[in-house]
Structure 1
Amino acid sequence: MSLTAAMKTAQSSFSNVGLQSAVVSKNIANASDPAYARRAAVLATATSGATVVETQRAQNEALLKQNLLSISKASAQDTVLAGLSRMKMMLGGEDYELAPSTYLAKLRDNLQTFADKPNEVSLAETVVADAIDVATSLNSTSEALQKLRSEADADIDTAVKDLNRLLKEFKTYNDQVRQGTAAGTDVNDALDQRDKLLTQISGLVGVTTVNRTNNDLALYTSDGTVLFETEARTVSFVPTTTYTATVTGNQVLIDGVPVQMGAAGNTSARGTIAGLLQIRDHAAPTFQAQLDETARSLINMFSEDTVGGAMDGLFIRNGVAVGDDLTVGTVVPGLSTVIKVNPAVITNQGGNAKLLRDGINETFNIDDHASFSVLLNKYAAAFETPVTFDPAAAIDTNASLLAFSSGSVGWLEQLRSAATTAADDKNALLARTQEALQSVTSVSLDEELALLLDLEQSYKASAKLVAAVDEMITALLQAAG
């Protein structure tokens, strides 16, 4: 090897060590950033030994796509579980002590006691108080459900705004990647930011990616709707400020195509938006229908068969259209919000609790017998009599009121239990996927420090080579005089 070749080799080595050290230093500086993918300086053989030809970014497309899918599934599942847990808390939590079924069972028991001792006014007052508890439970649960729907609607609006913002940012970095790749410049930082945005987008809506020329990415939703293709597609939503049982929320549109809500406890939803739609448009309305059917059955059960026809009894409706026929097995939306106890039997409102025994609209106990219990026995028996319920309530269509109200609690608990199990499974899968991806892309400080030691040895070797060349040139000059 000539002295000139040796010097060029040493210079090339110094240059390589400098570039490699810069890459390692950047890796170490970003070791705590989960969005940063490890870089590696790639060497290739050259006439002067070796040279750095590119800086490669650690990546695994298959794991990245699986991670995006896991994020969207876990986000949707967590959203659905949170909504169902809120619904459970409306009923009092683990023991469901605030559920209408709990108050109905108490009403039935005390009504039977009153029927056995119809002459005791205190028992009449107790039954009326129990009836008020039932109506209050239906009212408050119904109002809480509509509040939940309203909050879900507001969360959807926030999520849509975030999604539009993320798509605009995605375009910025995608353009940098596409243009940089075509020009042959380093686009690794832009790739990091683009992948970070992808994970955030997948948390809001299910995403699939298609890699095109010059590393350009096109994004599609899990059902095939175009989300981003050179330009971001518009995601639109008009929020609804006030919800009642008769109000239907607006759809979320991506490029004019509605986003489909999820279904079941182990939801099919992908992303937070679809999960929120499931709570707002399916879970809460279905439970609302169950409450409304309970209210309808209660009003019918305690109505009085008078000479002039059926009349309102212990329970009445307030604010529902007069034309509604509550005897037909069809949901009357919002009935549970307006059901209340007839003031005619509420003492502090000028009523008389004994009218429940004797008749509210006309006197059935004509001779004022203290032992008259015909009406009370009829009401008590009605709790166990099967009636027809609307299939829209998603539980038994022919059952007693107590069985139906208990079935409503069972429906919610079954749904929530399935959602809990699915959330555990999907979050565990997400954790494993992220761990696998990070094992490929994340920075290991031990590896980087070991590489620094290797680079130090390489630098020392090059320095010795330069020193040897210097000594040889010096000796040569001295010999030449």
Structure 2
Amino acid sequence: MASDLFSIGLSGLRASRAALDLTAQNISNAGTEGYIRRSLRVSEVGSAGTWLAPSDLTLSGVRIDGVTRNADLFRQAEVRRTGSDSARAAEELSGYENIEAALDQSGLFPAMTAFEAALQRLESNPVDPALRAGALEDARTVARSFNLASGSLDTLGEGLRFAATAGTQDVNTYAAELARVNLQLTRASAGSSDQTMLLDRRDALLQQIATQVGISTSYGPDQSVTVRIGGSTGPVLVTAGTTQSFAMTTAADGTISFTLAGSAVALSSGKLAGQAQGLIGVRDRKTELDSIADNLVTAANTAQANGVALDGSAGQPLFSGSGAGGITLALASGAGLATAPAGAGAGSRDPANLAALRNALGSAQVTDRIDGLMFGSASAAAARRTTADALDSIAGAARIALAEQAGVSLDDEAANLVRFQQAFQASGRVIQVASDLFDTLLAIR
């Protein structure tokens, strides 16, 4: 009996000590991102009775079966899915907010309205040098505002492409590391501390990949993971110890697309999908901006050609270049503004052609189109802000649910410290009782 008590007590000491170590590890990693709480998996040690009493069960202590991660694969998948959607919405919102800021900070709309106001003032006295100079400077400001807006959109596009390039590289880096973790998992013992550490690393890499691109996962018996981009039927990014190359291509219009192993792949979530949508927004706004600038050049220069300058010479183009990035002021002085109709003499006060210029700008709807462009950009950003806030709330709820299930509760761990410490002391007491019994038996004469 003493020998049995020794074995039972010793097994209890080992189990209690291992449980205390795990509890201490949980407490020390309570604030570690991605850490999953561990618990000790134990089972009762029992054996069948002797041939004299075959139905009896001999209990012989406790056996450590391994370490369990309190992870919920469904909740983890939900965190990745909702987080990927939220990341896409946040990146898309950032892109559209920057578009709105680029157009607003260029001062294009105020510059255009100031130019039209200057032309209206000039109509009251077409030969006034100050009014002519003021109108010409306002025209120069309009051209520069177009240049500034176009340049800001180009800079924004470059930033988005740079971020997407870095994100693409990150996907390949994380995928390669995940493939190595898969190989290590095939060699790790089930329930061992090494396996639990590898599983934490595996899940962290999956979360990092999901932040960049939407993924789906499936797991093998050895806990290795197969990763597909998109849904469960999407192309394979990682399987076992191998990966496929993920790449980004840039089109002539500045937009981006992605390939996996050389084949086109469509992204619906993740930062890269949001950056791609942001670049589409930049392209569309820049196309509209170029069209407005070209309409302004055509309307102003056509009106100029139909009139005469202050010295009676034929009107010359007011603007040169094309597109918002290329438009520049062509006239050297305010005297070149063709305010008088064709055939009028030098110093004519007839503002007929100036009125025609104003009407041409009105017919081209330059100011209205600029206003519509600004309003459309603001509306697009506002709509995406609502979507981003909603998706962020959903992702936050998923993270909270996972943390409640798999995270570390310091209150629970503190209670476990006391419980396992008492179990350790009780097991020690069992060994002490066995020792006392053995000494008593030896003392019998």
**When the two structures are superposed, what TM-score results if normalisation uses the length of structure 2?**
0.88
Task: Calculate percent identity across the aligned residue pairs.
Answer: 20
Deviation at 1:239, TM superposition (A): 6.8
Separation in structure 2 between the aligned mates of residue 111 and residue 58 of structure 1, nearest angstrom: 74
Separation in structure 2 between the aligned mates of residue 459 and residue 185 of structure 1, nearest angstrom: 21
Decide which of 40, 65, 88 is 2:77's aligned counterpart. 65
Report the equivalent of 1:315: 319
Deviation at 1:475, TM superposition (A): 2.0
Report the equivalent of 1:374: 352
Separation in structure 2 between the aligned mates of residue 437 and residue 23 of structure 1, nearest angstrom: 20
1:456 and 2:421 matched = yes
Separation in structure 1 between the aligned mates of residue 193 and residue 149 of structure 2, nearest angstrom: 60
> Does the CA contact (< 8 Å) of 1:227 and 1:254 recur in 2?
yes
2:283 aligned partner, one-letter code: P
Separation in structure 2 between the aligned mates of residue 233 and residue 182 of structure 1, nearest angstrom: 28
1:23 aligned partner, one-letter code: L
Separation in structure 1 between the aligned mates of residue 73 and residue 209 of structure 2, nearest angstrom: 17
Change (3 A) 1:52 1:311: farther
Decide which of 337, 349, 362 is 2:325's aligned counterpart. 337
Report the equivalent of 2:269: 270
Separation in structure 1 between the aligned mates of residue 79 and residue 443 of structure 2, nearest angstrom: 68
Separation in structure 1 between the aligned mates of residue 193 and residue 184 of structure 2, nearest angstrom: 10
Change (3 A) 1:167 1:157: same
1:163 and 2:163 matched = no
Matches within 5 A, 1:21-32: 21-32=20-31
Change (3 A) 1:189 1:52: same
> Does the CA contact (< 8 Å) of 1:110 and 1:127 recur in 2?
yes
Report the equivalent of 2:435: 470
Separation in structure 2 between the aligned mates of residue 458 and residue 181 of structure 1, nearest angstrom: 27
Decide which of 108, 112, 121 is 2:129's aligned counterpart. 121
Decide which of 282, 289, 292 is 1:291's aligned counterpart. 289
1:356 and 2:337 matched = yes
- Any gaps of 5 or more consecutive residues in structure 2? 47-59, 308-313
Q: Which runs of 4+ in 1 moved over 6 A?
A: 182-185
Report the equivalent of 1:301: 299
Separation in structure 2 between the aligned mates of residue 454 and residue 182 of structure 1, nearest angstrom: 26
User: How many residues are treated as equivalent by the alignment?
Assistant: 422
Separation in structure 2 between the aligned mates of residue 184 and residue 452 of structure 1, nearest angstrom: 21
Separation in structure 2 between the aligned mates of residue 156 and residue 102 of structure 1, nearest angstrom: 34
Report the equivalent of 1:196: 204
Decide which of 47, 50, 56 is 2:62's aligned counterpart. 50
> Which secondary structure does the structure 2 equivalent of 1:270 belong to?
coil
1:177 aligned partner, one-letter code: L
1:256 and 2:237 matched = no
Decide which of 381, 405, 408 is 2:370's aligned counterpart. 405
Matches within 5 A, 1:104-253: 104-180=112-188, 187-222=195-230, 224-230=234-240, 231-237=242-248, 247-248=253-254, 251-253=257-259
Q: Deviation string for 1:388-410 (max 9, x for gaps)? A: xxxxxxxxxxxx22221111001
> Does the CA contact (< 8 Å) of 1:234 and 1:255 recur in 2?
yes
Report the equivalent of 1:19: 18
- Answer 1 or 2: which has greater helix percent: 2
> Does the CA contact (< 8 Å) of 1:358 and 1:365 recur in 2?
no
> Does the CA contact (< 8 Å) of 1:177 and 1:216 recur in 2?
yes
Q: CA RMSD in A?
A: 2.5
> Which secondary structure does the structure 1 equivalent of 2:87 belong to?
helix
Q: Deviation string for 1:19-67 (max 9, x for gaps)? A: 2122212222222212211111122121213322221101111111111
Q: Deviation string for 1:187-242 (max 9, x for gaps)? A: 111000000011111111111112233222111112522211221111123679xx
2:337 aligned partner, one-letter code: L
- Any gaps of 5 or more consecutive residues in structure 1? 241-245, 262-268, 321-334, 348-352, 388-399
Deviation at 1:183, TM superposition (A): 10
Change (3 A) 1:427 1:200: same
> Which secondary structure does the structure 1 equivalent of 2:349 belong to?
coil
> Which secondary structure does the structure 1 equivalent of 2:257 belong to?
coil
> Which secondary structure does the structure 2 equivalent of 1:157 belong to?
helix
> Which secondary structure does the structure 1 equivalent of 2:32 belong to?
coil
Change (3 A) 1:45 1:90: same
Q: Deviation string for 1:265-295 (max 9, x for gaps)? A: xxxx411222222222x11111111111111
> Does the CA contact (< 8 Å) of 1:365 and 1:372 recur in 2?
no
Separation in structure 2 between the aligned mates of residue 301 and residue 51 of structure 1, nearest angstrom: 89
**When the two structures are superposed, what TM-score results if normalisation uses the length of structure 1?**
0.82
Separation in structure 2 between the aligned mates of residue 89 and residue 8 of structure 1, nearest angstrom: 74
Separation in structure 2 between the aligned mates of residue 24 and residue 442 of structure 1, nearest angstrom: 13
2:262 aligned partner, one-letter code: G
Q: Deviation string for 1:301-350 (max 9, x for gaps)? A: 11236589x98632222xx5xxxxxxxxxxxxxx111111123xx33xxx
Change (3 A) 1:275 1:108: same
Q: Deviation string for 1:139-177 (max 9, x for gaps)? A: 111122122222222222211111111111001112222
Separation in structure 2 between the aligned mates of residue 78 and residue 314 of structure 1, nearest angstrom: 43
Separation in structure 2 between the aligned mates of residue 69 and residue 476 of structure 1, nearest angstrom: 67
1:126 aligned partner, one-letter code: G
Q: Which one is further off, 45-54 or 434-443? A: 45-54
1:255 aligned partner, one-letter code: A
Q: Deviation string for 1:366-395 (max 9, x for gaps)? A: 23354311111112223332x5xxxxxxxx
Separation in structure 2 between the aligned mates of residue 194 and residue 182 of structure 1, nearest angstrom: 15
> Does the CA contact (< 8 Å) of 1:37 and 1:58 recur in 2?
yes
1:364 aligned partner, one-letter code: A
Decide which of 420, 430, 445 is 2:395's aligned counterpart. 430
